[in-house]
Amino acid sequence: SFTGDDRLRGNVERVSGTPTIDSFSSYLGVDGTTGSCSLYWYLLSSTSVSGPWTVEWSDTTTASDGTGWYDSGDIGQVLADGDYVVFATAWESDCDVTYYRSSTGSFGMSSSHHGYAYDDAFAESSYTSATTTAPSSSSSSMVYYQRVVYTD
């Protein structure tokens, strides 16, 4: 596990078919001892694994102290066949968050894992336009602990 603030973490997948993303969750440890903190959720897409990324959907939720699965809420976004997508969760300096990863894994939906995405200097203002060059990505087989709920 790793802990830090001003971070974005997510997994990069290449889509097969046109699934509808209902929601996704990230397994996090939130240190909310100074109060609640904001989690920022993003569904990003690109025709290239290295971006630039289009913000297809975003939302903000409030997290309190504790470790467990934190959920994005309802999404309802249809993905395009062949696109690369990032399921990302982010937080700023109002709380420290511990995030978890594994050396291998898969989501189980009709997609192929293409690495992970990260931003070690996350600022919500960088993700408010329709297109962003961030986050960076790596082609590693490593995955952050996430669950995706989808409909084929």
pLDDT of residue 78: 96
pLDDT of residue 51: 85
CA distance 66 to 123: 23
CA torsion, ordered 10, 16, 21, 25, to nearest 10 deg: -30
pLDDT of residue 109: 47
Low-confidence ranges of the chain (pLDDT < 70): 34-35, 104-111, 113
